[in-house]
Amino acid sequence: MSASACSQPGNSDNTAGNVNTNANTNATNSGNDNGNGNWITLFDGTDTDQWRQYNSDTFPDRGWQIEDGLLVFRPEPGPEWTSGRDIITRDTYQDFELQLEWMIEEGGNSGIFYHVLEQPTQAIYWSGLEMQILDNDNHPDADQGVDGNRKAGSLYDLIPAVPQNTRPHGEWNTVRIKSDGSRVEHWMNGEKILEFERWTPGWYEMLRNSKFRCHNEFGALQRGHIGLQDHSDIVKFRNIRIRNL
C-alpha cells in the first residue's frame, strides 16, 4: 500500500491473448531470491512446478489445468464434485509483494490466500488471509457480510475493498498484495483498495467479532504459503509472480 497507481505493473487488458508477459528481466523460474528483490515466476504458462495441493505433496490430478497458457480451475461436471482442491506454493514467504491477474466466470467465487499454515484437519481459510475473487454482479456473497466485505478485493469477511473497482466477469483484474511485517496492502486495477495492520489491539478486536475468533492461527503467521482456491467455480489466472522484500 505504498506505491503510486502509475507504477502498478502487469498487463491489464481484457483479452486472453496477452499471456504471462509481466515477468521482468530479473525474474527466475524457481527457488527463493533471499530477499534481493528479484521477481520469482510462480506460473509462466507452461508448468505448475511451483504449486501443490493443500495438504498433499503433489499437484491435483483433477480440476486445475493449463489452458492456452492460463492456470485454470474448472470443476468436472456432475453432482459428485465438491470443492477442496485448493493449491499452495511449494515455498513459503514472509515479507513479499505478490502480483497476478484473475478472471472469474459468471456467478463465480474464488480467492487468493496468503500466510497459509498447512493443517491436516483444517481448511485453508482458517489460517490464510484471503483476498476475495468474486463476480460481484451475479454472486449472492456480494450482498452478504458487512459493508461489502465479501466483494472482490476485500479481506474476506473482514475489511471491504474501497474503492470497489472490480471489472465484471469475463474480464481480467490485475492485483497486487504487499505484506511487509505487520502491514498489508491490497491493490487492484492500479488502485490501493485496502490496508491494515496485523497484531494490534484493533486487529484482535476485529477477529474476536468475526467467524475466525476460534482460530488463533488465522493471520498469525509471519511466514506462510500462497494459495489459490477451489470454490467449485471456473476461475483463470495468469502472470503470477512474487518477490521477497
The per-residue pLDDT for 31 is: 44
Distances from the Cα of 90 to the Cαs of 32, 74, 87, 180, in angstroms? 11, 22, 9, 20
How far is residue 188's CA from residue 176's CA, in Å, rounded to a whole number?
A: 6
Helix (H, G, I), strand (E, B), or coil: what is residue 202?
Answer: helix
Q: Residue 73: name the closest of 102, 107, 116 by CA.
A: 102
Nearest to 54 by CA among 19, 83, 13, 27: 83
Q: Is the Cβ–Cβ distance between 219 and 125 less than 8 Å?
A: no
Domain segments of the chain as ranges: 26-244
Q: For the chain, how many helices (H) and strands (E)?
A: 1, 13
Can you read off the three cell numbers belonging to residue 234?
A: 471456473
Whether 199 contacts 20, CB under 8 Å:
no
Phi, psi angle pair for 125, to nearest 5°: -80, -5
CB atoms within 10 A of CB 200: 11
Among positive and negative, which fits the CA dihedral 163, 166, 168, 172?
Answer: positive
Residue 119 has what pLDDT?
97
pLDDT in single tens digits along all 245 residues of the chain:
333 333 433 333 444 445 676 443 334 444 445 556 799 999 999 999 999 999 999 999 999 999 999 999 998 877 666 678 999 999 999 999 999 999 999 999 999 999 999 999 999 999 999 999 999 999 999 999 999 999 999 999 999 999 999 999 999 999 999 999 999 999 999 999 999 999 999 999 999 999 999 999 999 999 999 999 999 999 999 999 999 99
Preceding amide of 163 cis, omega within 30:
yes
CATH architecture under which domain 26-244 falls:
Sandwich (2.60)
CA geometry: angle 64, 65, 70, nearest 5 deg: 115
29: β partners: none
So what's the pLDDT on residue 77? 77
What is residue 35's predicted lDDT score, i.e. its pLDDT? 55
The closest of 88, 120, 116 to 228, measured between CA atoms, is: 88
Residue written as grid cell 499454515? 117
Question: What predicted TM-score, i.e. pTM, was given to this entire model?
Answer: 0.87
What one-letter code names the amino acid at 203?
A: W
Residues contacting 27, CB < 8 A, separation 6+: 38, 39, 40, 41, 241
